[in-house]
Amino acid sequence: MESMSSPASRPVPPAAASLLNLRGAVDLSTLKQRPAAPAGTGAAGGAVAPDGSQSGGTAGGPDLRVNVTEANFQQLVELSAQVPVVFALWAPYSPESTGMLQTLDSVVKSYGGRLVLGAADIEAFPQLAQAFQVQAVPTAVAVLKGQPVPLFQGSADEQQVRALFDELLKVAAANGVTGSLNAGAGEESEPAPLPPLHQAAYDAIEAGDFDAAADAYRQALKEMPSDHEAKAGLAQVELMARLQPLSAQDAESVRTLAANEPDNLEAQLAVADLDIAGGHVDDGLNRLVAFIGRNFGPERETARVRLLELFDVVGASDERVSKARQALARVLF
């Protein structure tokens, strides 16, 4: 985008980047092959709202609200390697769309260039709704490092939106996406430094040492039990450590064992890990909920604790986690 600077971003280790797939695996590859915007027209043109108004950037600064088209979609996906891009999928026939766009526009601007809003009319760009598997409008979906992160459907008040964006930025920081679009033209902004123990965990992940990363996150939690980012990071690296030694043949064998022995705790735990890592979040969570509902005693408690850890991996704000929590409450009580 010609009007936007390119802030520096921390390189993301492959293992950490793969975690983004856990938060809503959707194939955007067909859309990413759309032609780029014609020369001289950046993707950051003003966005047209349902009421016909058009928004632009602040004087001397970048546009933080973009009207999404087939021509600029690829540029926005690429931009998500620098800052999270929030896609607001709306339609002229939806009375809630105007309110959602106004709320998102206001909140995104308040983050000072750490987020970008992409307003997409699904009647003009129906392929995008299909790619994001949109069930209703309006819907908000973020894209981070090229991977979708479901946010919410329907209306949401400013406080709810801010809570979701705060969580989104934590996920972004954990994966090295810490840019800002308000850096001066031609200048690069340095990524905000991570806390020392988080940096140690990040470096260990980059080196493939998941045990050391887990130790760093545990120490961070010992020093600050309310560190939700460390808690999520610990759950993620423990998942990666469990999956690291599994070959494709091992994975197939454990799936067969789990299918034949539904009350085999270790097999069910292993397949739940595989499902979550493969983007089959509902399958993984529901598998453990079902096991908990069938069993009692120590095995039930082991499965419950693992399920709570997987909630942290997927993300507390994810709708699938909310549904699984409700299902867990039903089988426990």
- Are residues 121 and 92 in contact, defined by beta-carbon separation less than 8 angstroms? yes
Q: Give residue 62's pLDDT.
A: 54
In the structure, what pLDDT confidence band is assigned to residue 37 with cuts at 50, 70 and 90?
Answer: very low
Q: Helices in the chain by DSSP H: which ranges?
A: 14-18, 29-32, 73-79, 95-110, 126-131, 158-174, 196-206, 210-223, 228-243, 248-260, 265-277, 281-294, 298-314, 319-332
Instruction: Please name each of the domains of the chain with its CATH number.
Output: 14-174 (3.40.30.10), 196-332 (1.25.40)
Q: Give residue 72's pLDDT.
A: 85
User: Looking at 55-64, 106-115, 213-222, 287-296, which range is the least confident one?
Assistant: 55-64
User: Looking at 39-48, 60-69, 184-193, 228-237, which range is the least confident one?
Assistant: 39-48
pTM over 0.85: no
pLDDT in tens, 18-30: 333 333 333 444 4
pLDDT in tens, 197-240: 988 988 888 888 889 999 999 999 999 988 888 898 899 899 98
**Is the pLDDT at 61 greater than 60, yes or no?**
no
**Is the pLDDT at 16 greater than 60, yes or no?**
no
Quote the Cα angle for 55-6-117, to 5°. 30
Q: Give residue 73's pLDDT.
A: 87
Q: What average pLDDT does the structure give for the chain?
A: 78
